[in-house]
Amino acid sequence: MDKLVVVTGGTKGIGRAIIERFALAGFGVATCARNEKELALLKQDIESRFSVPVFTFVTDMSAKDQVKAFGDKVLKLSQPIEVLVNNAGYFIPGAVLDEAEGSLESMINTNLYSAYHLSRVLVPSMKAKKKGHVFNMCSIASIMAYPNGGSYAISKFALLGFSKVLREELKEHGVRVTSVLPGATLTASWDGVNLPDERLMKPEDIADTIFSAYSLSKRSVVEEILIRPQLGDL
């Protein structure tokens, strides 16, 4: 194995689809989640289907010390990091004035700070090699406010800002940075919503788009990917 993809929050939804797409291309995988059993099942499935090594680590991405520890463990694998996907995040609906106390802090920790702290651990190795690609999983909520978006939208606006700053800082060092802004996608966030599956995008579509952006020559970078359901936002 000469390439490693690192994906946070990799056991479900978009994160898992990204892992499967890169594993299909022969990438080794490092990923994390909070549920040890789900990580073990992911490892078994991906290794058996794609014959690539999968390294899993139980991590709470809302906790700074655990995020940094995950990054350190990935570095100790001594595998060249080709792609980092800052995917971990979650959504609690609510309005700024009415949502539960602590909602902003909780979603900022997971949706923004996890990407910031992990990038600070892993990206210097890419910078030193003058190669690599960072994908930050933003959202339609990064560019538009909507009812019950609340602190989730705030966190995703901030993540897009972080991604733009990182792109500017790394462009002279051969490391590409792409902000990914998906609309409604068929993931656990939409569980219980009475909508036909066809109204939501497939996680595999997001993964294929990310892989296509990665596959461009090193002369080019897709700075932002804005992808919506064909029938528009929900």
Residues annotated as catalytic (active site), given as ranges: 152
Rounded distance between C-alpha atoms, residue 111 and residue 139, angstroms = 11
Type of residue at 191:
D
Task: Identify the sign of the CA torsion 170, 84, 212, 79.
Answer: positive
Residue appearing with tokens 């919506």: 228
Distances (CA, A) of 44 to 9, 29, 37, 137, 169: 17, 12, 11, 25, 38
Distances (CA, A) of 4 to 31, 57, 232: 10, 15, 34
